[in-house]
Amino acid sequence: MNQIDIESTDLNLLKVFEAIYDEGGAGRAALRLSVTQSAVSAALGRLRTLYGDVLFTRTGRGLAPSLRARELRPVIGEALDKCRQSLSLARPGATDFAGRSVTLGLSDDFEIALGRDAIGALAESAPGLRLIFRQTHSRLAADMLMAREADLVIASGGLAAHALQRVTAGQGGYACLLDPASLAPGQQALSVDEFIRRQHVLVSSGGFIGVVDEVLHGLGLARRVQASTTHFSALAFLLRGGDSLSTLPAHAARGLAAATGLRMLPCPVAMPGYAIEMGWRADALRDEAVAAVRRCVLGLLEGFDWTDGPAEAWPP
């Protein structure tokens, strides 16, 4: 096999690879890069020759990466990040983030609680920068960072990998969410008996057992789970018009209550707290765009009220 000479290789092909991989199609990649689709297709042909692999195959939903492309993505991503970092060093103090994006991995409870404020704060501190929210949870967050599928993550633990840096930004708790029409007039709390009597909607990536079940089991109790979902935002629709309740992180319960008219009440069962962490790769902060998002979001995390106080405390 002939050795590939980097001097004769167009390094712009790496940007095309990144765009196709992230966008899942040549048309969307072309829009992202502000070039024609035919230019992207031609570049893909050159990439296939360069790496001796098909890289992407057409499916009904666009272009799917091959095994080799999945192996290349973190390597190419790191190389492009290094190039971006070198350019930021050439322009110390530069604040022009136009065209840049930073991916923040988080579950939708944190997106509900912090997303709007993060968008607003970055519009002021880093105008032109696009923030991409990507779904994850504590069992996936570290792998997402290591695979360079996210630049930063917010998670409830799971960030102990040696190549990652993390900071604990708060301590979370739980609250109950339900339709206020199912409560007695003036009712401000749930008893344990009522908590057990009502049907529950579980939010879980697995769909069977949640932390509430573990706590109740320790008390010799059990609840009845009527349905389960993987997204907290679905509760805005699943709880409406019934007498079911859901137990969820207090920050998400407060946001959903304020936005939907559902009622947030304290959980009558003592629930364990959990650490709220932000994590990133050790080299990520060399990129000023990532550093800017970290400063902004970490400030929001550290200033946020994570308690199970009333929904009225939520910003209007």
pLDDT tens figures, 49-71: 999 999 999 988 889 999 999 99
Residues 19 and 140 in one domain: no
Which H or E element spans position 178?
Answer: strand 174-178
Nearest Cα neighbor of 15 from 104, 99, 131 is 99
Residue 294 placed within a domain: yes
Residue 208 placed within a domain: yes
Residue 211 placed within a domain: yes
Confidence bin at 160 (pLDDT 50/70/90): confident
| Sign of the alpha-carbon dihedral angle for 34, 37, 39, 42 | positive
Residue 194 placed within a domain: yes
Most confident of 26-35, 49-58, 162-171: 49-58
Residue 84 placed within a domain: no
Residues 163 and 191 in one domain: no
Mean pLDDT computed over 99-112? 91
How high is the pLDDT of residue 309? 57
What CATH number should be reported for the domain holding residue 280?
Answer: 3.40.190.10
Residue 241 placed within a domain: yes
What whole-number distance in Å separates Cα of residue 253 and Cα of residue 176?
7
Which H or E element spans position 41?
Answer: helix 37-51
DSSP 46-65: HHHHHHTS--EEEETTEEEE
Residues 168 and 188 in one domain: no
CB contact at 8 A, 50 and 17: no
What CATH number should be reported for the domain holding residue 51?
Answer: 1.10.10.10
Residue 243, pLDDT above cutoff 90: yes
How high is the pLDDT of residue 205? 81
Domain residues for 124?
95-172+274-313
- C-alpha dihedral, 235 to 239 to 244 to 245, nearest 10°: 40
pLDDT tens figures, 274-300: 999 999 988 888 888 899 999 999 999
pLDDT tens figures, 79-98: 887 777 676 666 655 556 87
pLDDT tens figures, 211-237: 999 999 999 999 999 999 999 999 999
Percent of the chain with pLDDT strictly greater than 70: 91
Residues 17 and 154 in one domain: no
